[in-house]
Chains A and B, each alone.
Chain A
Amino acid sequence: MNTQVVQIAQVTQVAQGSLSKAFFALLRRDLLLAFRRRTELLFPVIFLLVIISLFPLGIGPSPELLARIAPGVIWIAALLATVISLDGLFRSDFEDGSLEQFVISGHPLTLISLAKIVAHWLVAGLPLVLLSPLLAVWMNLPLESLGVMVLTLALGTPILSLIGSIGVGLTISLKRGGQLLSLLVFPLYVPILIIATAAVMAASDGLPYTAFLGLLTAGLITSLTLAPFAAAAALKISLS
């Protein structure tokens, strides 16, 4: 099969200014839509609060034990909360044809993915970061490691959104992509979980933790530069 598509016209002259305009227009629209559907906005946050509050009930309110497991529990709850909100990242745009319009507009799909990922993090990731001090107090986490906990979430939750976007792109055309999505992305989240909890535990034990934060930062930069491209490629496959 010999496919020759000559598309001289489409991507010829898209000025820099119009790209950033498109980026912010999309970001603003997604935030406005999230605000209009406030119940969906609150769902991951409430989910997180419920999970965290179940742990002391389930394993007993021993302060030492809770402090020991706090980093892992908070991080696993953050992973779950992110995954349940991930499916909505591209789904509505895929189903109502907006994604087709984005492709035809000639703007790079990578930029569009990045705008959607940023919007997703602001809506689903940032609230987790802001809530984490409260969760840390619930779980009796030592005060000296509270800052590190917040920092790992601030560095880590964008990575979750970025990596997750690739999985969403791949599963979007499936009717029940959500279940497959969790199987796809959880293995990829394992390194982040290990590094982040190791950092918080090191801080609790008074050990140096900056190396772990460095690793997380490296992960953030890597996924920020690569994931939008991968998500765009996945979306292109799902559209055809």
Chain B
Amino acid sequence: MYKLFKKEDFINSLYKIKDYKIFVPAKEGYYHFFSPLEKGISPDFSFFNTRLSPKSIIYPQSERMFEFSLNKEDPDAFILKEAEKEFPLQAIIGIRPCDAHAFQIVKKNFDNPDYKDPWWTKRYENTTFIGLGCNNPRNTCFCTKVGGGPFSEIGLDAIMYDLGENFLIKVLTDKGSLFLKKIEGGKEAEETHIKQAEKIKKEAEAKIKTDIEIEALLKKGILQVFEADIWEEISFPCINCGICTYLCPTCWCFDIQDEVYKDKGDRIRNWDSCMFPIFTLHASGHNPRAEKFRRVRQRFMHKLKYYPEKYHDGVQCSGCGRCIIACPTNMDIREIANKMSKI
């Protein structure tokens, strides 16, 4: 089902929705970020992609898990209690297809048959994903090579096509339909609009020129790639800053720390990074990934070999290209994937 909205009407009506917390892309300085829609925030849909991925909307960078008292007089002293939290209905408007795809990848980690992460799953279930297809992918985009595309519908409840003055919105799920009922001023789309959308989609897909030999890489044995004599050279420029893991919409690793102020404490979970040596440091001093090349190898092996081996469903990368843009030493996952596939 398709609906057509005048852009202006669509944006104005977002402000009137009260029962969802709404996130929109907004410009701040040189970059776009996802921001809660509130007074003073103007949604701006003319962006390549947001600088930070929207992963923190479902998976905050720091999250209070439990709270406790260390006061012995307290009857519940030293007993962890779930921290009170709200899980409002929320909608991300204008999420790019690569970032929506990324949530599907991360879901495999946080929502599996053995264990469910209570906070990630609750926020994910309460979120409606209204995507915005990419008319003009950047030269760092490679979604089409990793199972997605500039108009991929993976993980979306609806997808918007930017037709100039209008948004053509294709409704994909009940969740999407329910949300879009709250937007006023929609019309039935005409055949010409749908044709125009299909043309934009084809043209966008053709703009992605990156060539990665993912299929060849998937066929290589894990030990063959792990033991190959390429990792010292690949990792040489890396300064272990961790920006790639911080910006990556599919990186999910975390740390758990207790923080105490006077006699009250919180158990907190923070994003962590395999780029940092203490990530794997044992209390004994032993560290299985003490050297930089081992950590760099871990990052690329996890995304391109371990994840496929474990889930048999593509790679742990949605092709957004943020790590390529942000890396201070110009490391490029596409080149590294190709080196791995040519062993």
Q: Do A and B bind each other?
A: no
